[in-house]
Amino acid sequence: MERGSLRSCLCRLLRRAAGKDLGGRRQQFSDSQISNARRLIEAGEPATHVARDLSMSRATLYRRMAELDARDWIAQR
């Protein structure tokens, strides 16, 4: 492995272990928007329509809802 890629790999592992941001694209939608979308779906609105209103795919909406559930579950422990 090259020295530069080894260093970047090590830095990434250290940042992940410390719980720091790894970079990447910022999320476009807030947690409250995802929570409101969940409420609409639970009220009977089709997930496809809710996702389309937010200008995201249905898969992204479900993934963000799962991430929000996981964070809430961790926070409760």
State the pLDDT confidence band at 47, using cuts at 50, 70 and 90.
Answer: very high
Cβ neighbours of residue 16 closer than 8 Å, sequence gap 6 or more:
22
Structure tokens at 75: 């926070």
User: What does 10-77 look like in DSSP terms, one character per residue?
Assistant: HHHHHHHHTT-----PPPSS-HHHHHHHHHHHHTT--HHHHHHHTTS-HHHHHHHHHHHHHHHHHHH-
Q: Tell me the percentage of the chain whose pLDDT exceeds 70.
A: 88
Our measurement of the distance from residue 7's CA atom to the centroid of its chain's CA atoms, rounded to an integer in Å, reads 27
| pTM (two decimals) | 0.63
Q: What is the pLDDT of residues 18-42, one digit of tens each?
A: 777 667 676 788 889 999 999 999 9
Tell me, what's the pLDDT at 8?
A: 77
In the chain, where the domains are located:
3-76
